[in-house]
Chain A
Protein backbone atom coordinates (compact mmCIF):
# COMPACT_ATOMS: atom_id res chain seq x y z
CA UNK A 1 0.00 0.00 0.00
CA UNK A 2 2.74 2.45 1.00
CA UNK A 3 4.75 1.54 -2.06
CA UNK A 4 1.66 2.13 -4.19
CA UNK A 5 1.13 5.58 -2.74
CA UNK A 6 4.80 6.33 -3.26
CA UNK A 7 4.44 5.26 -6.86
CA UNK A 8 1.36 7.46 -7.31
CA UNK A 9 3.35 10.50 -6.19
CA UNK A 10 6.39 9.55 -8.21
CA UNK A 11 4.24 9.13 -11.28
CA UNK A 12 2.46 12.42 -10.71
CA UNK A 13 5.83 14.17 -10.47
CA UNK A 14 7.23 12.27 -13.43
CA UNK A 15 9.95 10.68 -11.34
CA UNK A 16 9.14 7.06 -12.19
CA UNK A 17 11.47 5.28 -14.59
CA UNK A 18 10.39 5.98 -18.11
CA UNK A 19 10.83 2.53 -19.66
CA UNK A 20 8.60 2.83 -22.71
CA UNK A 21 5.99 4.96 -20.98
CA UNK A 22 7.52 8.32 -21.93
CA UNK A 23 6.23 10.74 -24.53
CA UNK A 24 7.89 10.37 -27.92
CA UNK A 25 8.24 13.61 -29.87
CA UNK A 26 8.12 13.71 -33.68
CA UNK A 27 11.65 15.15 -33.85
CA UNK A 28 13.22 12.45 -31.65
CA UNK A 29 15.94 10.21 -33.01
CA UNK A 30 16.58 6.77 -31.57
CA UNK A 31 19.74 4.73 -31.47
CA UNK A 32 18.27 1.24 -31.39
CA UNK A 33 19.91 -2.16 -31.18
CA UNK A 34 19.53 -5.56 -29.65
CA UNK A 35 21.50 -5.67 -26.37
CA UNK A 36 25.24 -6.39 -26.70
CA UNK A 37 25.47 -5.14 -30.26
CA UNK A 38 27.84 -2.24 -29.79
CA UNK A 39 25.24 0.17 -28.50
CA UNK A 40 27.46 1.70 -25.80
CA UNK A 41 30.28 2.20 -28.28
CA UNK A 42 27.99 4.10 -30.65
CA UNK A 43 26.67 6.12 -27.72
CA UNK A 44 30.26 7.19 -27.00
CA UNK A 45 30.88 7.93 -30.68
CA UNK A 46 27.80 10.11 -30.92
CA UNK A 47 28.34 11.86 -27.60
CA UNK A 48 31.92 12.69 -28.58
CA UNK A 49 30.73 13.91 -31.95
CA UNK A 50 27.96 16.10 -30.58
CA UNK A 51 29.79 17.40 -27.50
CA UNK A 52 33.43 17.80 -28.53
CA UNK A 53 34.09 19.96 -25.48
CA UNK A 54 32.86 17.42 -22.93
CA UNK A 55 34.94 14.61 -21.51
CA UNK A 56 32.63 11.77 -22.41
CA UNK A 57 32.75 8.82 -20.04
CA UNK A 58 30.60 6.26 -18.27
CA UNK A 59 29.86 8.79 -15.55
CA UNK A 60 28.02 11.16 -17.87
CA UNK A 61 26.93 9.03 -20.84
CA UNK A 62 23.41 8.60 -19.45
CA UNK A 63 23.04 12.36 -19.42
CA UNK A 64 24.66 12.96 -22.82
CA UNK A 65 22.91 10.17 -24.71
CA UNK A 66 20.05 9.24 -22.43
CA UNK A 67 18.47 5.84 -22.01
CA UNK A 68 14.76 5.91 -21.06
CA UNK A 69 15.22 2.59 -19.27
CA UNK A 70 17.14 4.16 -16.41
CA UNK A 71 15.91 7.75 -16.39
CA UNK A 72 12.75 9.41 -15.16
CA UNK A 73 10.02 10.71 -17.40
CA UNK A 74 10.61 14.21 -16.08
CA UNK A 75 14.29 14.11 -16.96
CA UNK A 76 13.41 13.02 -20.50
CA UNK A 77 10.73 15.67 -20.85
CA UNK A 78 13.12 18.43 -19.86
CA UNK A 79 15.85 17.48 -22.30
CA UNK A 80 16.56 20.03 -25.03
CA UNK A 81 15.09 19.01 -28.36
CA UNK A 82 15.63 17.43 -30.78
CA UNK A 83 16.62 14.54 -28.51
CA UNK A 84 18.75 11.54 -29.38
CA UNK A 85 17.82 8.60 -27.17
CA UNK A 86 19.23 5.13 -26.78
CA UNK A 87 16.87 2.18 -26.82
CA UNK A 88 16.80 -1.59 -26.95
CA UNK A 89 13.11 -1.81 -27.77
CA UNK A 90 12.00 -4.08 -30.61
CA UNK A 91 9.92 -2.40 -33.31
CA UNK A 92 8.09 0.57 -31.83
CA UNK A 93 5.79 2.45 -34.17
CA UNK A 94 6.25 5.69 -32.24
CA UNK A 95 9.92 6.01 -33.14
CA UNK A 96 10.07 7.99 -36.37
CA UNK A 97 13.78 8.37 -36.97
CA UNK A 98 15.86 5.34 -36.15
CA UNK A 99 19.54 4.45 -36.38
CA UNK A 100 19.49 0.67 -36.14
CA UNK A 101 22.69 -1.07 -35.13
CA UNK A 102 22.93 -4.78 -35.90
CA UNK A 103 25.64 -7.32 -35.05
CA UNK A 104 26.34 -10.92 -35.97
CA UNK A 105 24.19 -12.96 -33.55
CA UNK A 106 27.01 -15.45 -33.06
CA UNK A 107 29.08 -12.65 -31.54
CA UNK A 108 26.09 -11.23 -29.70
CA UNK A 109 25.47 -14.48 -27.82
CA UNK A 110 29.09 -14.64 -26.62
CA UNK A 111 29.01 -11.03 -25.50
CA UNK A 112 25.64 -11.43 -23.79
CA UNK A 113 26.89 -14.53 -21.99
CA UNK A 114 29.82 -12.68 -20.44
CA UNK A 115 27.63 -9.69 -19.61
CA UNK A 116 25.12 -11.95 -17.85
CA UNK A 117 27.93 -13.47 -15.80
CA UNK A 118 29.17 -10.00 -14.97
CA UNK A 119 25.72 -8.87 -13.91
CA UNK A 120 25.16 -12.10 -11.95
CA UNK A 121 22.00 -12.70 -14.01
CA UNK A 122 23.21 -16.29 -14.43
CA UNK A 123 25.18 -18.58 -12.14
CA UNK A 124 28.90 -18.93 -12.84
CA UNK A 125 28.40 -22.63 -13.63
CA UNK A 126 25.98 -22.00 -16.54
CA UNK A 127 27.79 -22.95 -19.74
CA UNK A 128 27.76 -20.95 -22.93
CA UNK A 129 26.06 -23.90 -24.59
CA UNK A 130 23.18 -23.82 -22.10
CA UNK A 131 22.94 -20.05 -22.28
CA UNK A 132 22.87 -20.26 -26.06
CA UNK A 133 19.79 -22.46 -26.02
CA UNK A 134 17.91 -19.85 -24.04
CA UNK A 135 19.32 -17.12 -26.26
CA UNK A 136 17.88 -18.85 -29.31
CA UNK A 137 14.45 -18.93 -27.70
CA UNK A 138 14.66 -15.25 -26.87
CA UNK A 139 14.53 -16.06 -23.15
CA UNK A 140 17.69 -14.24 -22.14
CA UNK A 141 16.30 -10.81 -22.89
CA UNK A 142 13.05 -8.99 -22.31
CA UNK A 143 13.42 -7.48 -25.79
CA UNK A 144 12.66 -10.74 -27.60
CA UNK A 145 15.03 -12.88 -29.64
CA UNK A 146 17.73 -11.46 -31.88
CA UNK A 147 15.71 -12.52 -34.92
CA UNK A 148 12.48 -10.96 -33.70
CA UNK A 149 14.27 -7.74 -32.87
CA UNK A 150 16.18 -7.33 -36.10
CA UNK A 151 13.41 -8.68 -38.35
CA UNK A 152 10.69 -6.50 -36.85
CA UNK A 153 12.74 -3.32 -37.30
CA UNK A 154 14.30 -4.08 -40.66
CA UNK A 155 11.15 -5.48 -42.25
CA UNK A 156 9.03 -2.59 -41.06
CA UNK A 157 11.42 0.24 -41.88
CA UNK A 158 14.15 -0.74 -44.36
CA UNK A 159 13.92 1.65 -47.30
CA UNK A 160 12.35 4.39 -45.21
CA UNK A 161 14.51 7.52 -45.44
CA UNK A 162 14.20 7.93 -41.67
CA UNK A 163 15.84 4.56 -41.03
CA UNK A 164 19.56 3.86 -41.16
CA UNK A 165 20.87 0.34 -40.79
CA UNK A 166 24.47 0.08 -39.56
CA UNK A 167 26.41 -3.12 -39.04
CA UNK A 168 28.69 -3.28 -36.02
CA UNK A 169 31.19 -5.07 -38.23
CA UNK A 170 31.32 -2.22 -40.75
CA UNK A 171 31.73 0.26 -37.94
CA UNK A 172 34.77 -1.70 -36.76
CA UNK A 173 36.28 -2.05 -40.22
CA UNK A 174 35.79 1.57 -41.24
CA UNK A 175 34.99 3.56 -38.13
CA UNK A 176 35.43 6.96 -39.70
CA UNK A 177 33.45 6.20 -42.83
CA UNK A 178 30.52 4.70 -40.96
CA UNK A 179 30.53 7.45 -38.36
CA UNK A 180 30.42 9.98 -41.18
CA UNK A 181 27.37 8.19 -42.57
CA UNK A 182 25.72 8.26 -39.16
CA UNK A 183 26.55 11.93 -38.64
CA UNK A 184 25.00 12.79 -41.98
CA UNK A 185 21.86 10.84 -41.11
CA UNK A 186 21.56 12.65 -37.80
CA UNK A 187 22.40 16.03 -39.27
CA UNK A 188 25.47 16.52 -37.07
CA UNK A 189 28.27 18.61 -38.54
CA UNK A 190 31.15 16.25 -39.25
CA UNK A 191 34.43 17.70 -40.43
CA UNK A 192 37.23 15.15 -40.75
CA UNK A 193 38.95 16.49 -37.66
CA UNK A 194 35.88 16.11 -35.52
CA UNK A 195 35.16 12.61 -36.84
CA UNK A 196 38.68 11.46 -36.15
CA UNK A 197 38.61 12.89 -32.64
CA UNK A 198 35.28 11.21 -31.87
CA UNK A 199 36.53 7.84 -33.09
CA UNK A 200 39.76 8.16 -31.09
CA UNK A 201 37.98 9.21 -27.92
CA UNK A 202 35.67 6.22 -28.26
CA UNK A 203 38.37 3.64 -28.93
CA UNK A 204 38.21 0.35 -27.05
CA UNK A 205 41.40 1.20 -25.19
CA UNK A 206 40.12 4.51 -24.03
CA UNK A 207 36.76 3.04 -23.04
CA UNK A 208 38.58 0.35 -21.05
CA UNK A 209 40.51 3.02 -19.15
CA UNK A 210 37.35 4.95 -18.46
CA UNK A 211 35.62 1.78 -17.31
CA UNK A 212 38.37 1.14 -14.78
CA UNK A 213 37.89 4.59 -13.28
CA UNK A 214 34.13 4.97 -13.54
CA UNK A 215 32.61 1.50 -13.37
CA UNK A 216 30.81 2.39 -10.14
CA UNK A 217 29.26 5.50 -11.66
CA UNK A 218 27.30 3.87 -14.47
CA UNK A 219 24.11 1.81 -14.28
CA UNK A 220 25.50 -0.76 -16.71
CA UNK A 221 28.46 -1.67 -14.53
CA UNK A 222 27.54 -0.62 -11.00
CA UNK A 223 27.40 -3.52 -8.52
CA UNK A 224 28.56 -6.07 -11.06
CA UNK A 225 31.50 -8.48 -10.96
CA UNK A 226 34.39 -6.11 -11.59
CA UNK A 227 36.80 -8.87 -12.62
CA UNK A 228 34.75 -9.33 -15.79
CA UNK A 229 35.17 -6.26 -18.03
CA UNK A 230 32.24 -4.52 -19.71
CA UNK A 231 34.35 -3.43 -22.66
CA UNK A 232 35.57 -6.85 -23.64
CA UNK A 233 37.24 -7.74 -26.91
CA UNK A 234 35.53 -5.11 -29.04
CA UNK A 235 36.07 -7.07 -32.22
CA UNK A 236 34.05 -9.18 -34.61
CA UNK A 237 34.26 -12.88 -35.40
CA UNK A 238 35.26 -13.84 -31.85
CA UNK A 239 32.58 -16.51 -32.02
CA UNK A 240 34.77 -18.63 -34.28
CA UNK A 241 36.90 -19.54 -31.29
CA UNK A 242 34.49 -18.98 -28.44
CA UNK A 243 31.29 -20.59 -29.68
CA UNK A 244 30.79 -24.37 -29.53
CA UNK A 245 30.28 -25.58 -33.11
CA UNK A 246 26.85 -27.15 -32.51
CA UNK A 247 25.54 -23.88 -31.11
CA UNK A 248 26.87 -21.89 -34.06
CA UNK A 249 25.14 -24.40 -36.31
CA UNK A 250 21.86 -24.04 -34.46
CA UNK A 251 21.96 -20.27 -34.66
CA UNK A 252 22.62 -20.43 -38.38
CA UNK A 253 19.87 -22.98 -38.94
CA UNK A 254 17.37 -20.84 -37.05
CA UNK A 255 18.25 -17.42 -38.42
CA UNK A 256 19.95 -18.05 -41.76
CA UNK A 257 17.69 -15.91 -43.98
CA UNK A 258 18.24 -12.75 -41.99
CA UNK A 259 21.93 -13.43 -41.42
CA UNK A 260 22.38 -13.88 -45.13
CA UNK A 261 20.61 -10.63 -45.88
CA UNK A 262 22.92 -8.88 -43.49
CA UNK A 263 25.98 -10.38 -45.11
CA UNK A 264 26.99 -12.62 -42.21
CA UNK A 265 28.76 -15.53 -43.79
CA UNK A 266 27.30 -18.88 -42.85
CA UNK A 267 29.65 -21.67 -42.02
CA UNK A 268 27.31 -24.59 -41.91
CA UNK A 269 24.57 -24.05 -44.44
CA UNK A 270 26.31 -22.33 -47.28
CA UNK A 271 25.38 -24.90 -49.88
CA UNK A 272 21.69 -25.04 -49.12
CA UNK A 273 19.28 -22.80 -50.88
CA UNK A 274 17.71 -20.44 -48.38
CA UNK A 275 14.33 -18.88 -48.99
CA UNK A 276 14.87 -15.18 -48.57
CA UNK A 277 12.23 -12.98 -47.00
CA UNK A 278 10.56 -10.25 -49.04
CA UNK A 279 12.60 -7.31 -47.92
CA UNK A 280 15.67 -8.86 -49.49
CA UNK A 281 14.06 -8.83 -52.87
CA UNK A 282 12.86 -5.35 -52.24
CA UNK A 283 14.45 -2.54 -54.17
CA UNK A 284 14.91 -0.75 -50.86
CA UNK A 285 18.08 -2.46 -49.79
CA UNK A 286 21.04 -0.58 -51.23
CA UNK A 287 22.49 0.17 -47.80
CA UNK A 288 23.08 -3.44 -46.88
CA UNK A 289 26.22 -5.03 -48.19
CA UNK A 290 25.29 -8.56 -49.00
CA UNK A 291 28.72 -10.06 -48.95
CA UNK A 292 32.07 -9.17 -47.61
Chain B
Protein backbone atom coordinates (compact mmCIF):
# COMPACT_ATOMS: atom_id res chain seq x y z
CA UNK B 1 0.00 0.00 0.00
CA UNK B 2 1.51 3.29 -1.06
CA UNK B 3 2.14 5.77 1.67
CA UNK B 4 0.35 9.06 1.30
CA UNK B 5 3.54 10.80 0.29
CA UNK B 6 4.55 8.20 -2.27
CA UNK B 7 1.07 8.38 -3.75
CA UNK B 8 1.37 12.14 -4.12
CA UNK B 9 4.66 11.72 -5.93
CA UNK B 10 3.10 9.12 -8.17
CA UNK B 11 0.19 11.40 -9.03
CA UNK B 12 2.63 14.18 -9.83
CA UNK B 13 4.43 12.03 -12.37
CA UNK B 14 1.22 10.53 -13.69
CA UNK B 15 -0.37 13.85 -14.53
CA UNK B 16 2.78 15.08 -16.17
CA UNK B 17 2.55 12.18 -18.59
CA UNK B 18 -1.20 12.53 -19.06
CA UNK B 19 -0.81 16.17 -20.06
CA UNK B 20 2.05 15.29 -22.36
CA UNK B 21 -0.13 12.65 -23.98
CA UNK B 22 -2.81 15.28 -24.57
CA UNK B 23 -0.32 17.29 -26.56
CA UNK B 24 0.70 14.26 -28.57
CA UNK B 25 -2.90 13.32 -29.27
CA UNK B 26 -3.58 16.82 -30.56
CA UNK B 27 -0.54 16.92 -32.80
CA UNK B 28 -1.23 13.56 -34.44
CA UNK B 29 -4.22 14.74 -36.54
CA UNK B 30 -2.27 17.79 -37.65
CA UNK B 31 0.62 15.65 -38.79
CA UNK B 32 -1.77 13.23 -40.45
CA UNK B 33 -3.54 16.01 -42.33
CA UNK B 34 -0.28 17.50 -43.53
CA UNK B 35 1.01 14.09 -44.48
CA UNK B 36 -2.10 13.09 -46.42
CA UNK B 37 -2.43 16.43 -48.19
CA UNK B 38 1.20 16.36 -49.25
CA UNK B 39 1.35 12.73 -50.25
CA UNK B 40 -1.97 12.58 -52.03
CA UNK B 41 -1.78 16.04 -53.51
CA UNK B 42 1.82 16.24 -54.64
CA UNK B 43 1.33 13.69 -57.39
CA UNK B 44 -1.26 15.99 -58.91
CA UNK B 45 0.93 19.01 -59.14
CA UNK B 46 2.11 19.78 -62.61
CA UNK B 47 1.80 22.76 -64.89
CA UNK B 48 -1.22 21.35 -66.67
CA UNK B 49 -3.03 20.78 -63.39
CA UNK B 50 -2.31 24.24 -62.12
CA UNK B 51 -3.29 26.12 -65.25
CA UNK B 52 -5.93 24.16 -67.12
CA UNK B 53 -9.62 24.48 -66.49
CA UNK B 54 -11.75 21.81 -64.90
CA UNK B 55 -12.81 20.17 -68.14
CA UNK B 56 -9.17 19.60 -68.92
CA UNK B 57 -8.56 18.19 -65.47
CA UNK B 58 -7.01 21.28 -63.94
CA UNK B 59 -7.67 23.70 -61.12
CA UNK B 60 -6.56 26.88 -62.86
CA UNK B 61 -9.92 28.58 -62.41
CA UNK B 62 -9.97 27.64 -58.75
CA UNK B 63 -6.57 29.18 -58.10
CA UNK B 64 -7.48 32.26 -60.06
CA UNK B 65 -10.77 32.50 -58.22
CA UNK B 66 -9.13 32.28 -54.80
CA UNK B 67 -6.66 34.98 -55.73
CA UNK B 68 -9.44 37.19 -57.07
CA UNK B 69 -11.45 36.64 -53.88
CA UNK B 70 -8.48 37.48 -51.67
CA UNK B 71 -7.76 40.55 -53.77
CA UNK B 72 -11.31 41.90 -53.97
CA UNK B 73 -12.07 41.24 -50.34
CA UNK B 74 -8.82 42.77 -49.14
CA UNK B 75 -9.24 45.80 -51.37
CA UNK B 76 -12.47 46.71 -49.69
CA UNK B 77 -12.31 44.94 -46.37
CA UNK B 78 -8.86 45.82 -45.09
CA UNK B 79 -9.17 49.62 -45.26
CA UNK B 80 -12.66 49.49 -43.77
CA UNK B 81 -11.52 47.16 -41.02
CA UNK B 82 -8.41 49.14 -40.18
CA UNK B 83 -10.18 52.49 -40.16
CA UNK B 84 -12.91 51.01 -37.96
CA UNK B 85 -10.24 49.80 -35.58
CA UNK B 86 -8.61 53.23 -35.67
CA UNK B 87 -11.89 54.86 -34.74
CA UNK B 88 -12.51 52.46 -31.87
CA UNK B 89 -9.02 52.89 -30.50
CA UNK B 90 -8.37 56.59 -30.95
CA UNK B 91 -11.82 58.12 -30.72
CA UNK B 92 -13.71 55.37 -29.04
CA UNK B 93 -14.55 56.60 -25.57
CA UNK B 94 -18.23 57.04 -26.09
CA UNK B 95 -21.45 55.06 -26.14
CA UNK B 96 -21.55 54.81 -29.92
CA UNK B 97 -18.11 53.21 -30.03
CA UNK B 98 -18.99 50.83 -27.22
CA UNK B 99 -21.97 49.73 -29.22
CA UNK B 100 -19.83 49.20 -32.30
CA UNK B 101 -17.34 47.23 -30.27
CA UNK B 102 -20.08 44.97 -28.92
CA UNK B 103 -21.52 44.42 -32.39
CA UNK B 104 -18.06 43.61 -33.75
CA UNK B 105 -17.54 41.00 -31.06
CA UNK B 106 -20.87 39.42 -31.82
CA UNK B 107 -20.07 39.44 -35.54
CA UNK B 108 -16.84 37.53 -35.08
CA UNK B 109 -18.90 34.66 -33.72
CA UNK B 110 -21.38 34.53 -36.58
CA UNK B 111 -21.45 31.12 -38.26
CA UNK B 112 -20.03 31.64 -41.74
CA UNK B 113 -22.85 29.83 -43.43
CA UNK B 114 -25.24 32.44 -42.11
CA UNK B 115 -23.09 35.10 -43.75
CA UNK B 116 -23.32 33.15 -46.98
CA UNK B 117 -27.09 33.20 -46.91
CA UNK B 118 -27.20 36.91 -46.23
CA UNK B 119 -24.78 37.71 -49.03
CA UNK B 120 -26.77 35.51 -51.35
CA UNK B 121 -30.00 37.31 -50.63
CA UNK B 122 -28.43 40.75 -50.63
CA UNK B 123 -26.25 40.63 -53.67
CA UNK B 124 -27.24 37.70 -55.80
CA UNK B 125 -30.92 38.43 -55.52
CA UNK B 126 -31.10 42.17 -55.14
CA UNK B 127 -28.00 43.53 -56.78
CA UNK B 128 -26.48 41.46 -59.53
CA UNK B 129 -29.29 39.03 -60.18
CA UNK B 130 -26.81 36.20 -60.58
CA UNK B 131 -24.01 34.43 -58.81
CA UNK B 132 -21.10 36.80 -58.76
CA UNK B 133 -17.60 37.32 -57.45
CA UNK B 134 -18.92 40.55 -56.00
CA UNK B 135 -21.28 38.62 -53.78
CA UNK B 136 -18.43 36.41 -52.70
CA UNK B 137 -16.27 39.40 -51.86
CA UNK B 138 -19.10 40.94 -49.87
CA UNK B 139 -19.60 37.73 -47.93
CA UNK B 140 -15.91 37.41 -47.14
CA UNK B 141 -15.74 41.09 -46.19
CA UNK B 142 -18.49 40.53 -43.65
CA UNK B 143 -16.13 38.07 -42.01
CA UNK B 144 -12.91 40.01 -42.56
CA UNK B 145 -13.97 43.45 -41.36
CA UNK B 146 -14.91 42.60 -37.75
CA UNK B 147 -11.72 40.60 -37.29
CA UNK B 148 -9.44 43.27 -38.73
CA UNK B 149 -11.26 45.97 -36.76
CA UNK B 150 -10.69 44.11 -33.53
CA UNK B 151 -7.03 43.25 -34.10
CA UNK B 152 -6.36 46.80 -35.28
CA UNK B 153 -7.91 48.24 -32.15
CA UNK B 154 -5.84 45.90 -29.99
CA UNK B 155 -2.60 46.73 -31.80
CA UNK B 156 -3.21 50.46 -31.60
CA UNK B 157 -4.01 50.25 -27.91
CA UNK B 158 -0.56 48.82 -27.36
CA UNK B 159 1.10 51.94 -28.70
CA UNK B 160 2.19 53.94 -25.63
CA UNK B 161 0.29 57.14 -24.99
CA UNK B 162 3.53 59.05 -24.72
CA UNK B 163 3.93 58.80 -28.47
CA UNK B 164 0.53 60.33 -29.10
CA UNK B 165 1.20 63.11 -26.65
CA UNK B 166 4.60 63.84 -28.11
CA UNK B 167 3.22 64.22 -31.60
CA UNK B 168 0.27 66.34 -30.51
CA UNK B 169 2.57 68.53 -28.44
CA UNK B 170 4.52 69.27 -31.59
CA UNK B 171 1.36 70.72 -33.08
CA UNK B 172 0.56 67.86 -35.43
CA UNK B 173 -3.16 67.40 -36.10
CA UNK B 174 -4.74 64.35 -34.55
CA UNK B 175 -5.64 62.83 -37.89
CA UNK B 176 -2.08 63.24 -39.11
CA UNK B 177 -0.74 61.85 -35.86
CA UNK B 178 -2.95 58.83 -36.19
CA UNK B 179 -2.08 58.07 -39.77
CA UNK B 180 1.60 58.95 -39.85
CA UNK B 181 2.77 58.19 -36.36
CA UNK B 182 0.52 55.74 -34.57
CA UNK B 183 -0.34 53.38 -37.40
CA UNK B 184 3.31 52.82 -38.31
CA UNK B 185 4.17 52.41 -34.63
CA UNK B 186 1.65 49.61 -34.38
CA UNK B 187 3.06 48.32 -37.66
CA UNK B 188 3.84 44.68 -37.20
CA UNK B 189 0.87 44.06 -34.93
CA UNK B 190 -1.39 45.46 -37.61
CA UNK B 191 0.21 43.41 -40.35
CA UNK B 192 0.00 40.28 -38.24
CA UNK B 193 -3.68 40.76 -37.47
CA UNK B 194 -4.50 41.51 -41.07
CA UNK B 195 -2.56 38.58 -42.52
CA UNK B 196 -4.18 36.18 -40.08
CA UNK B 197 -7.60 37.46 -41.10
CA UNK B 198 -6.74 37.14 -44.80
CA UNK B 199 -5.46 33.60 -44.28
CA UNK B 200 -8.73 32.82 -42.58
CA UNK B 201 -10.95 34.05 -45.39
CA UNK B 202 -8.76 32.42 -48.01
CA UNK B 203 -9.85 29.07 -46.61
CA UNK B 204 -13.53 29.84 -46.11
CA UNK B 205 -15.97 27.77 -48.11
CA UNK B 206 -19.44 28.29 -46.72
CA UNK B 207 -19.76 31.97 -47.61
CA UNK B 208 -18.74 31.19 -51.18
CA UNK B 209 -21.11 28.29 -51.75
CA UNK B 210 -24.09 30.48 -52.32
CA UNK B 211 -22.36 33.48 -53.78
CA UNK B 212 -19.91 32.41 -56.42
CA UNK B 213 -21.21 28.88 -56.72
CA UNK B 214 -18.21 27.42 -58.50
CA UNK B 215 -17.34 27.17 -62.14
CA UNK B 216 -15.33 24.89 -64.42
CA UNK B 217 -13.96 27.86 -66.29
CA UNK B 218 -11.87 30.88 -65.66
CA UNK B 219 -13.27 34.19 -64.53
CA UNK B 220 -16.01 35.26 -66.86
CA UNK B 221 -17.18 38.54 -65.49
CA UNK B 222 -18.78 39.97 -62.43
CA UNK B 223 -22.13 38.53 -63.34
CA UNK B 224 -21.01 34.95 -63.58
CA UNK B 225 -20.32 32.27 -61.04
CA UNK B 226 -16.65 31.75 -60.29
CA UNK B 227 -14.52 28.99 -58.91
CA UNK B 228 -12.29 29.02 -55.84
CA UNK B 229 -10.04 26.46 -54.19
CA UNK B 230 -12.23 25.67 -51.16
CA UNK B 231 -15.27 25.21 -53.40
CA UNK B 232 -13.34 23.05 -55.81
CA UNK B 233 -12.17 20.86 -52.96
CA UNK B 234 -15.68 20.52 -51.61
CA UNK B 235 -17.32 19.63 -54.89
CA UNK B 236 -14.58 17.36 -56.17
CA UNK B 237 -14.59 15.41 -52.92
CA UNK B 238 -18.19 14.49 -53.52
CA UNK B 239 -17.68 13.09 -57.00
CA UNK B 240 -17.68 9.31 -57.33
CA UNK B 241 -14.67 9.32 -59.64
CA UNK B 242 -11.32 8.54 -58.00
CA UNK B 243 -9.56 10.77 -60.51
CA UNK B 244 -11.60 13.80 -59.53
CA UNK B 245 -11.21 13.02 -55.86
CA UNK B 246 -7.47 13.04 -56.41
CA UNK B 247 -7.81 16.52 -57.86
CA UNK B 248 -9.43 17.59 -54.62
CA UNK B 249 -6.23 16.63 -52.80
CA UNK B 250 -4.16 18.58 -55.29
CA UNK B 251 -6.33 21.63 -54.75
CA UNK B 252 -6.05 21.09 -51.00
CA UNK B 253 -2.28 21.12 -51.26
CA UNK B 254 -2.30 24.40 -53.15
CA UNK B 255 -4.73 25.93 -50.64
CA UNK B 256 -2.67 24.82 -47.65
CA UNK B 257 0.44 26.24 -49.24
CA UNK B 258 -1.26 29.62 -49.67
CA UNK B 259 -2.58 29.58 -46.10
CA UNK B 260 0.76 28.50 -44.68
CA UNK B 261 2.57 31.15 -46.68
CA UNK B 262 0.32 33.79 -45.14
CA UNK B 263 0.81 32.38 -41.66
CA UNK B 264 4.56 32.26 -42.05
CA UNK B 265 4.38 35.80 -43.36
CA UNK B 266 2.82 36.63 -40.02
CA UNK B 267 5.72 35.08 -38.15
CA UNK B 268 8.26 36.97 -40.22
CA UNK B 269 6.42 40.25 -39.72
CA UNK B 270 6.30 39.90 -35.97
CA UNK B 271 9.89 38.73 -35.65
CA UNK B 272 10.99 41.96 -37.27
CA UNK B 273 9.80 44.10 -34.39
CA UNK B 274 10.04 42.04 -31.26
CA UNK B 275 11.47 38.70 -30.32
CA UNK B 276 9.54 36.78 -27.75
The answer to whether A and B come from one shared complex is no
Give B residues with C-beta under 8 Å from A.
none
Give A residues with C-beta under 8 Å from B.
none
